[in-house]
Amino acid sequence: MSDTEDFSAELANGNRIYFEYAGAVEDIGWEEVDLQRVKAYFHRTPYVYSLTYRGIEFIKKALVHIANSPDYLIDNDFGTLVSGHEFAKKVQEAPDWCWYNNLE
């Protein structure tokens, strides 16, 4: 599998996450300030994936396990653009957090 292929993950209970390669950072449609932040954050060109899932609680738990690292940035399309470990910390500190609200 190359780094830019789509793939999915499924848990025993049937919950799935679909990872779709979204293209170059310039193609995502981020506002200029966010685009510059993403480019400055990484030392190399990052791979950008869009996630498709069912169930907000499921995906929050999954991302805590998958992306709890400074090697990832999480953009929730609702104003939150934080490192993976910041995202995981927020979910762990406030499990009922609704990420449709901005972190900042």
Average pLDDT per 10 consecutive residues for the chain, totaling 104 residues: 75 87 87 91 90 86 91 87 93 85 52
pLDDT for position 10: 81
Is residue 102 a part of any domain in this protein?
no
Is residue 100 a part of any domain in this protein?
no
pLDDT for position 67: 92
Which structural domain, as residue segments, surrounds residue 19? Answer: 7-93
Is residue 1 a part of any domain in this protein?
no
pLDDT for position 73: 94
Query: Could you tell me the pTM of the whole model?
Result: 0.79
Task: Specify the number of domains making up the chain.
Answer: 1
pLDDT for position 104: 46
Taking the C-alpha atoms of residue 66 and residue 56, their distance in angstroms, rounded to an integer, is 15
Beta strands at 16-23 and 7-10: parallel, antiparallel or unpaired = antiparallel
Is residue 40 a part of any domain in this protein?
yes
Is residue 98 a part of any domain in this protein?
no
